[in-house]
Homo-oligomer: A and B are copies of this chain.
Amino acid sequence: MTSRRTSPTNDARLTLGELRKRCEAQALPLTGPRLAVLETLVGLQGTHPTADEVYACARDRGFHIGRATVYRALEAFVARHVLTKAAHAGTAMRYDGTLARHHHLVCLRCNGILDVADERLDAIPLPDTSKLGFAISDLQIQVRGICRACQEREQADQP
Residues of A within 8 A of B (CB): 8, 86-91, 93, 103, 105, 107-108, 114, 116, 118, 120-121, 124-129, 131-148, 151
Contacts and interface: CB of A to CB of B under 8 A. Distances in A.
Nearest to A147: B134
8 contacts: A89-B89, A89-B91, A105-B132, A105-B134, A127-B143, A136-B145, A137-B145, A140-B141
A141 B139 contact: yes
Given A90-B87, A93-B89, A127-B143, A148 B132 contact: yes
Query: Of residues A8, A89, A128, A141, which shows the largest number of chain B Cβ atoms within 10 Å of its Cβ?
Result: A89
Contact of A116 (B103, B105, B118, B132): B132
